[in-house]
Amino acid sequence: MHLTAADIQKLDRIQRLNIINSVTGIKPANLIGTISNADEPNLAIFSSVVHLGSNPPLIGFMLRPQQEVRRHTFENIMENGFYTINHVHSSFIQKAHYTSAKFEKNVSEFEVCQLHEEYLQDFKAPFVKESRLKLGMELVQHMPIPLNGTSLIIGKIKHAIFPDHTMDTDGHIDLMKMDDVGISGLNSYYTLNKIAQFPYARPGELPEFPQNSD
């Protein structure tokens, strides 16, 4: 199939949405936990979390437009500046997926999707107890994207929590041991299998690459 920009614009809205959300490949599945200053917890699944830098440790994620639908995640982060990022595992994919429903602000996705809040002392936002890798984040910058009304939320890692046995001596975290899952499009989930690990690439240290069979 070959779709030009004009072809893409002519597609049915749902078909276009699914195609464009799938062409980037497998994306990380994360639950973002927030709480309002009125102590109303919120939980929502995101597939747009991305590494922005290691020193300082910055993570970003994209928020869809705020104009037509209230985004409780955005409102809570803007209120108090804290949120959590929690990896999704195969044991609770279905529960995580349904946090995407548009619940009222006073309805807790933790409660209706049967996930459990977990708090650290002196940290405002709720973590997901079921998640094995969770990050406590502090808002650094909110960057609106005028072209389509979305926003990039940039945060600094204040807490990183994961099992000791999933990290090697160089700091690599094995997501397969974590039983992490990924997302394609908006609602297709994939398991992760580690198939290789290579050294840091340098121009003078290239290996002998295998020849293609064809």
Position 45 pLDDT exceeds 80: yes
- What tens digit of pLDDT does each residue of 132-190 get? 999 999 999 999 999 888 999 999 999 999 999 999 999 999 999 999 999 998 889 99
- Residue 68 phi/psi, 5° resolution? -85, -35
| Helix (H), strand (E) at residue 152 | strand 150-161
Query: What is the CB neighbour count within 10 angstroms for residue 29?
Result: 24
Asked, for residue 201, whether it belongs to a domain, the answer is no
- Looking at residue 182, its amino acid is G
DSSP lists the bridge partners of residue 63 as 151
Please give the average per-residue pLDDT across 43-68, as a whole number: 90
Mean pLDDT of the chain: 92
pLDDT at 67: 58
Tally of domains within the chain: 1
The verdict on residue 2 lying in a domain is no
Helix (H) or strand (E) holding 198, with range, is none
Q: Please check whether residue 206 lies inside any domain of the structure.
A: no
In-domain check, residue 185: yes
Cis peptide preceding 41, ω within 30 of 0: no
Establish if 209 belongs to a structural domain: no
List the CATH number of the domain containing 173. 2.30.110.10
Between 71 and 62, whose confidence is greater? 62
Contact by Cβ (8 Å): 41, 110? yes
Would 163 be classed as within a structural domain? yes
Structural domain range at position 60: 27-191
Instruction: Indicate the pLDDT class of residue 69, thresholds 50, 70 and 90.
Output: low
pTM over 0.85: yes
Residue 24 pLDDT grade (very low, low, confident, very high; cuts 50, 70, 90): confident
Q: Residues 9-35: what's their mean pLDDT?
A: 92
Q: Are 143 and 151 in contact (CB under 8 A)?
A: yes
In a domain, 146, yes or no: yes
Examine the pLDDT at 32 and tell me if it is beyond 90: yes
Evaluate whether residue 50 is within a structural domain.
yes
Angstrom CA distances, 110 to 35, 132, 146, 151, 155, stand at 11, 16, 32, 24, 23
